[in-house]
Chain A
Amino acid sequence: MTRRVVTIGPEASIFEAQDLMAKSRVRHIPVVEEGSMLVGIVSDRDLRSALPFRYFKEGISAEEKSKLQDLRVKDIMTRKVFTISPGYTIQDALLMIQNAKVGALPVVDENGRLKGILSVRDLLRAFVNVLGIGQPGTLLCILVEEKVGQLKKIVDAITEMGVSFGSVLVARYWEEDKRAVFPYLLTQNVAHVKKRLKEMGYTLLDPMQWYLDQLPEEDRPPDQPRS
């Protein structure tokens, strides 16, 4: 999460909110009252709905602006905010962002005080980190039967060869009783690993043959919310 959160008060004008958003290059601003108490959140979309389209294109007249000047953040903010606590895991946050169809989750403590904010961007960074793709390595794709102990055999064999893992992803495969295992190995030297795995009887897939599209229709993951 981001600890240094850009915040705004409920009485601020929407122009202040718009300026703050543009200046700090964020799309969500938690609205707080005294003592960092979270009372709402305002998004770039809330602002776009509140301001005339022309405001963003060519600007608006002073007269129009003065009419809108009375519009306060509290008038357009979302009051029922989806929040998480600092103890939430990345998985919690992923599921929550997907279900709530929001772009950011304020992090609050048990007293409702704002502690930070977690955006889709933060989750993406965490995911890059989890996949280990920031480090040099090679991705393998191994097809295994779905039974206990398969992964152990693979991990043991690769470990015995002195190769470290950046990550291991286990995903469903479109054939029943099969799983696709994607070890991301922190090495260039994969020829002997592949040879060993083949000797052990595993099928190495061309990773390009593995598409989510090929999953049975009803098993497809739910559509991603539009951000």
Chain B
Amino acid sequence: MKRTGFLYDERYLLHKTGPYHPEIPERLTAIYEGLAQGGLLDRLTRVPAAPADLQWIINVHTAEYVKRFEAACRAGKQMFDSPDNQMCAQTYETALLAVGGILEACRQVMEGRLDNAFCAVRPPGHHAEVSRAMGFCYFNNVAIAARFLQKQFSLARVGIVDFDVHHGNGTQHIFEDDPTVYYYSIHQHPSFAYPGTGREFEYGRGDGYGFTKNSPVLPGQGDEDYRRLLERDLFPAFADYKPEAIIVSAGFDGHRDDDMSDTKLSTEFYTWMMRQIMALAETYSSGRLLSVLEGGYCLRQLPELARQHVEVLLNG
């Protein structure tokens, strides 16, 4: 059995969004309940969360953006940069706490105290750009974690696998000219799904050309197409790249019961996919694997999806 970390903090529930908004605190409680009822909590090591040091955040975002976000929050604004980004007085602190917890999980994995970790955080991060909040995201959690691994632990190659059903435009743009981070995303085709990026012909730019890969999947498709594309695109890419650590942008919104997309993945497929990613981490990354929650909005399916996800981290 692996030593798997679990990042969860009740303060992650304090970020509240407005009516009709699917990114709600109940998503996290559903995940927590799923792990509790599956009897997994005793087998996990809880990772404590403290607000992140701003120095790590401004490795990705501009200081001006961070200030603007904090000021909007303190001023009681209910929306930031886009109508999708609804917020409350606690949003800024919650976002800092999400990053802080993730960096702690990174540290413990890198110091060998944990083998891997699942970070159940809110708000999510992969749509957040360098100086723009988008698609429910404020700080790009995964991008900040990747830069942290590089600066603090001198990793030369970090691999990111983003299986949220939406393309992680923020993460891709942050690393598109950087060959030291490989960004792979599989998602519903951008002609139909938010945010409209992540097309097959986006490979990165400059020195980073060839270190971004996207596998868009047409709406209505599911397990079979995903399996084929992962085998065609992700596995050989990581076999070549040999990342020293893998970060997963784990979004469960491609599930067939999730209304946020027209992608039809089964619960079993998510488990199969995570096993493959675990195997990649075992082969190339000394098992170092960090899974960070992005989307996933079906409260009925999230408990089981999270339970199986964490089972894989524990058992491979």
Contact = CB atoms under 8 A, between A and B. Distances in A.
Interface stretch (A35-43, A106-114, A135-143): A135-143
A45 B224 CA distance: 46
A207 interface: yes
B192 A139 contact: yes
A164 B135 CA distance: 14
Given A187-B84, A189-B22, A191-B259, A207 B196 contact: no
Interface in B80-97: 82-84
Given A136-B169, A206-B219, A208-B218, A188 B83 contact: no
Contacts of A139: 191-193
Given A187-B84, A208-B219, A194 B194 contact: no
A37 to B, nearest CB: 42
B148 interface: no
A148 interface: no
Contact of B220 (A136, A192, A208): A208
A139 B191 CA distance: 7
Interface string B130-167: 00001110000000000000000000000000000010
A169 to B, nearest CB: 12
B18 to A, nearest CB: 9
Interface string A195-227: 100000000001110000000000000000000
Contacts, number: 66
20 contacts: A136-B169, A136-B197, A137-B194, A138-B192, A138-B194, A139-B192, A164-B83, A187-B83, A187-B194, A188-B84, A188-B135, A189-B22, A190-B260, A192-B22, A194-B259, A206-B219, A206-B220, A206-B262, A207-B191, A208-B220
Contacts of A137: 194-196
Interface residues of B, number: 27
B194 A188 contact: yes
Looking at chain A's contact residues, is the secondary structure mostly helix, strand, loop, or mixed?
loop
Contacts of A134: 196
A135 B169 CA distance: 12
A189 B84 contact: yes
Interface in B281-297: 297
Interface string A154-174: 000000011110000000000
A208 B188 CA distance: 12
A102 interface: no
Contacts of B127: 136, 188
A139 B297 CA distance: 19
A139 B188 CA distance: 12
Nearest to A190: B260
A12 interface: no
Contacts of A6: none
Nearest to A166: B196
B20 A189 contact: yes
A133 interface: yes
Contacts of B262: 206
B21 interface: yes
Interface string A6-30: 0000000000000000000000000
Contact of A136 (B20, B22, B134, B258): B134
Contact of A191 (B166, B169, B192, B297): B297
A3 B127 CA distance: 37
A163 B135 contact: no
Interface string B289-312: 000000001000000000000000
